[in-house]
Amino acid sequence: MPRTYLVTGAASGIGAATTALLRERGHTVLTADLEDGDLRADLSTAEGRAALVAGARDLAGGRLDAVVSCAGVAHFDPLTIRVNHFGAVATLEGLRPLLAAGRDPRALVVGSIDSVHPTDPALMAAADAGDEPAAVAAARAAVDRGEGHLVYSSSKAAVSRWVRRAAPATPGPAPASRSTPSPPAWS
Protein backbone atom coordinates (compact mmCIF):
# COMPACT_ATOMS: atom_id res chain seq x y z
CA MET A 1 0.00 0.00 0.00
CA PRO A 2 1.47 3.39 -0.97
CA ARG A 3 2.71 5.62 1.82
CA THR A 4 3.53 9.31 2.07
CA TYR A 5 7.17 10.11 2.84
CA LEU A 6 9.08 13.33 3.40
CA VAL A 7 12.79 13.17 2.51
CA THR A 8 15.17 15.97 3.52
CA GLY A 9 18.35 16.46 1.54
CA ALA A 10 16.44 15.08 -1.44
CA ALA A 11 18.23 17.03 -4.19
CA SER A 12 21.40 14.96 -4.16
CA GLY A 13 23.25 11.95 -2.81
CA ILE A 14 21.52 9.56 -0.45
CA GLY A 15 18.39 11.73 -0.33
CA ALA A 16 18.00 11.70 -4.12
CA ALA A 17 18.62 7.94 -4.28
CA THR A 18 16.10 7.32 -1.49
CA THR A 19 13.51 9.52 -3.20
CA ALA A 20 13.97 7.68 -6.52
CA LEU A 21 13.67 4.28 -4.84
CA LEU A 22 10.51 5.21 -2.93
CA ARG A 23 8.85 6.71 -6.02
CA GLU A 24 9.83 3.67 -8.08
CA ARG A 25 7.96 1.58 -5.51
CA GLY A 26 4.83 3.69 -5.87
CA HIS A 27 5.04 5.90 -2.80
CA THR A 28 4.30 9.61 -2.61
CA VAL A 29 7.45 11.50 -1.70
CA LEU A 30 7.61 15.13 -0.64
CA THR A 31 11.12 16.45 -1.12
CA ALA A 32 12.91 19.07 0.93
CA ASP A 33 16.25 20.65 0.22
CA LEU A 34 18.06 23.95 0.44
CA GLU A 35 17.65 24.90 -3.21
CA ASP A 36 15.40 22.37 -4.92
CA GLY A 37 12.37 20.38 -3.89
CA ASP A 38 8.73 20.59 -2.96
CA LEU A 39 9.91 22.41 0.16
CA ARG A 40 12.91 24.70 0.14
CA ALA A 41 14.30 25.05 3.62
CA ASP A 42 17.60 25.95 5.23
CA LEU A 43 17.87 23.47 8.09
CA SER A 44 20.79 25.40 9.55
CA THR A 45 18.37 28.06 10.83
CA ALA A 46 15.39 28.06 13.18
CA GLU A 47 13.38 29.91 10.52
CA GLY A 48 14.20 27.32 7.87
CA ARG A 49 13.31 24.47 10.21
CA ALA A 50 9.96 26.08 11.07
CA ALA A 51 9.27 26.68 7.36
CA LEU A 52 9.93 23.01 6.62
CA VAL A 53 7.46 21.88 9.29
CA ALA A 54 4.78 24.37 8.21
CA GLY A 55 5.24 23.55 4.53
CA ALA A 56 5.13 19.82 5.17
CA ARG A 57 1.94 20.19 7.18
CA ASP A 58 0.33 22.07 4.28
CA LEU A 59 1.57 19.80 1.48
CA ALA A 60 0.90 16.54 3.31
CA GLY A 61 -2.55 17.51 4.52
CA GLY A 62 -1.60 17.14 8.16
CA ARG A 63 -0.19 13.60 8.04
CA LEU A 64 2.96 11.75 7.02
CA ASP A 65 3.66 8.04 7.14
CA ALA A 66 7.42 8.42 7.27
CA VAL A 67 10.24 10.96 7.42
CA VAL A 68 13.72 10.24 6.11
CA SER A 69 16.23 12.78 7.39
CA CYS A 70 19.07 12.79 4.86
CA ALA A 71 20.02 16.47 4.83
CA GLY A 72 23.63 16.88 5.81
CA VAL A 73 26.90 18.64 5.11
CA ALA A 74 30.52 17.85 5.85
CA HIS A 75 32.33 21.15 6.30
CA PHE A 76 34.98 22.25 8.78
CA ASP A 77 32.45 24.81 9.94
CA PRO A 78 29.69 25.22 12.54
CA LEU A 79 27.18 24.88 9.68
CA THR A 80 27.77 21.12 9.95
CA ILE A 81 26.45 20.80 13.52
CA ARG A 82 23.58 23.16 12.72
CA VAL A 83 22.35 21.02 9.80
CA ASN A 84 23.41 17.48 10.72
CA HIS A 85 22.31 17.52 14.34
CA PHE A 86 20.06 20.47 15.15
CA GLY A 87 18.37 20.46 11.73
CA ALA A 88 17.61 16.72 11.93
CA VAL A 89 16.35 16.94 15.51
CA ALA A 90 14.11 19.93 14.77
CA THR A 91 12.76 18.23 11.66
CA LEU A 92 11.78 15.07 13.50
CA GLU A 93 10.45 16.86 16.57
CA GLY A 94 8.46 19.30 14.44
CA LEU A 95 7.02 16.59 12.22
CA ARG A 96 6.10 14.26 15.09
CA PRO A 97 2.41 15.37 15.07
CA LEU A 98 2.18 14.64 11.32
CA LEU A 99 3.73 11.22 11.89
CA ALA A 100 1.33 10.53 14.75
CA ALA A 101 -1.53 11.12 12.29
CA GLY A 102 0.05 8.81 9.70
CA ARG A 103 -0.37 5.12 9.04
CA ASP A 104 2.23 2.95 10.78
CA PRO A 105 4.59 5.93 11.10
CA ARG A 106 8.35 5.67 10.85
CA ALA A 107 11.33 8.02 11.05
CA LEU A 108 14.83 7.39 9.81
CA VAL A 109 17.95 9.49 10.31
CA VAL A 110 20.82 8.80 7.95
CA GLY A 111 23.97 8.51 9.99
CA SER A 112 27.58 7.91 9.09
CA ILE A 113 30.42 5.60 10.00
CA ASP A 114 32.04 8.81 11.21
CA SER A 115 29.72 8.66 14.22
CA VAL A 116 32.15 6.17 15.78
CA HIS A 117 35.25 8.26 15.04
CA PRO A 118 36.81 10.69 17.54
CA THR A 119 34.57 13.56 18.60
CA ASP A 120 34.97 16.90 20.31
CA PRO A 121 33.82 16.61 23.97
CA ALA A 122 32.59 20.22 24.25
CA LEU A 123 30.65 19.94 21.00
CA MET A 124 29.10 16.63 22.07
CA ALA A 125 28.11 18.00 25.49
CA ALA A 126 26.46 21.05 23.94
CA ALA A 127 24.60 18.98 21.34
CA ASP A 128 23.46 16.49 23.98
CA ALA A 129 22.15 19.41 26.05
CA GLY A 130 20.31 20.84 23.03
CA ASP A 131 22.34 24.05 23.35
CA GLU A 132 22.85 25.16 19.76
CA PRO A 133 24.75 28.41 20.53
CA ALA A 134 27.24 26.48 22.71
CA ALA A 135 27.57 23.76 20.05
CA VAL A 136 28.27 26.37 17.39
CA ALA A 137 30.90 27.98 19.66
CA ALA A 138 32.49 24.57 20.31
CA ALA A 139 32.54 23.82 16.57
CA ARG A 140 34.16 27.18 15.87
CA ALA A 141 36.77 26.50 18.60
CA ALA A 142 37.55 23.08 17.09
CA VAL A 143 38.04 24.65 13.66
CA ASP A 144 40.18 27.45 15.11
CA ARG A 145 42.53 24.99 16.82
CA GLY A 146 42.92 22.93 13.64
CA GLU A 147 40.51 20.14 14.55
CA GLY A 148 37.70 20.95 12.14
CA HIS A 149 37.53 17.30 11.14
CA LEU A 150 35.92 16.60 14.53
CA VAL A 151 32.87 18.72 13.69
CA TYR A 152 31.40 16.23 11.20
CA SER A 153 32.00 13.13 13.33
CA SER A 154 30.63 14.97 16.37
CA SER A 155 27.51 16.02 14.46
CA LYS A 156 26.79 12.45 13.39
CA ALA A 157 27.57 10.97 16.79
CA ALA A 158 25.32 13.55 18.46
CA VAL A 159 22.35 12.86 16.19
CA SER A 160 22.86 9.11 16.69
CA ARG A 161 22.76 9.62 20.45
CA TRP A 162 19.63 11.73 20.11
CA VAL A 163 17.89 8.97 18.13
CA ARG A 164 18.77 6.39 20.79
CA ARG A 165 17.32 8.67 23.48
CA ALA A 166 14.25 9.81 21.52
CA ALA A 167 13.13 6.49 20.01
CA PRO A 168 12.20 4.78 23.29
CA ALA A 169 10.35 7.92 24.42
CA THR A 170 8.26 8.12 21.27
CA PRO A 171 4.66 7.32 22.19
CA GLY A 172 2.68 4.97 20.00
CA PRO A 173 3.85 3.29 16.84
CA ALA A 174 6.34 5.91 15.65
CA PRO A 175 9.76 4.35 16.11
CA ALA A 176 12.83 6.18 14.99
CA SER A 177 15.99 4.56 13.74
CA ARG A 178 19.30 5.56 12.27
CA SER A 179 21.11 4.13 9.32
CA THR A 180 24.56 4.14 7.89
CA PRO A 181 24.66 5.49 4.35
CA SER A 182 23.14 2.79 2.23
CA PRO A 183 19.71 3.00 0.64
CA PRO A 184 17.13 1.22 2.77
CA ALA A 185 15.06 -1.63 1.35
CA TRP A 186 11.56 -0.35 2.09
CA SER A 187 8.46 -1.85 0.63
Active site residue 5: no
Phi-psi region of 129 (alpha: psi -120 to 50; beta: other; left: phi over 0): alpha
CA nearest neighbour of 135 among 154, 160, 156: 154
Q: Whole-angstrom Cα distance, residue 89 to residue 161?
A: 11
State the catalytic residue, choosing from 152, 159, 176, 178.
152
Which three-class secondary structure string do you get for the chain? Answer: CCCEEEEECCCCHHHHHHHHHHHHCCCEEEEEECCCCCEECCCCCHHHHHHHHHHHHHHCCCCCCEEEECCCCCCCCCHHHHHHHHHHHHHHHHHHHHHHCCCCCEEEEECCHHHHCCCCHHHHHHHHCCCHHHHHHHHHHHHHCCCCHHHHHHHHHHHHHHHHHHHHHCCCCCCEEEECCCCCCCC
Residues designated as active site = 152
